[in-house]
Amino acid sequence: MADAQQDEPDDYVIATGETHSVRDVVDAAFHAIGVDDWSNLVVCAESLRRPAEVEHLVGDASKARERLGWKPKVTFEELIEMMVTADLKDAAEERRRR
């Protein structure tokens, strides 16, 4: 990996270049805790849906790859599992403090 310390500051997009829906995030999050069918646990309020502003959002990390030698080290599913694990740990610590 190239040195992440650059002579001049710059902005970089850190992304996998993959697209995932909110449903994909929910699937991965529930899978991380061993729940395969979450359909009766989640309610989607139509009033909170917003119209799609763009068809697809995909991060382009080519500049980070080229200049920094950066590439993703974890998969989407691994990232969601890490986030769920951290949230569960935080919730357990909060319960202990009460």
Q: What are 16-38's pLDDT values in tens digits?
A: 999 998 899 999 999 999 999 99
**Is the residue at 66 inside a domain?**
yes
Looking at residues 39-50, what average pLDDT do you find? 88
Q: Is residue 44 in some structural domain? A: yes
Provide the 10 A C-beta neighbour count for residue 64.
20
pLDDT digit string (tens) for 51-66?
Answer: 766 677 889 999 999 9
Question: Would 12 be classed as within a structural domain?
Answer: no
Task: Please state the length of the chain.
Answer: 98
- pLDDT tens digits, 68-90: 999 999 999 999 999 999 999 99
Contacts of 4 (CB under 8 A, 6+ apart): 68, 70
6 or 18, which is more confident: 18
- Residue span of the structural domain in which 44 resides: 22-97
Residue 5 lies in a domain: no
Q: Is residue 41 part of a domain?
A: yes
Confidence of residue 2 (pLDDT cuts 50, 70, 90): low
Q: How many domains does the chain divide into?
A: 1
38 within a domain of the structure (yes/no): yes
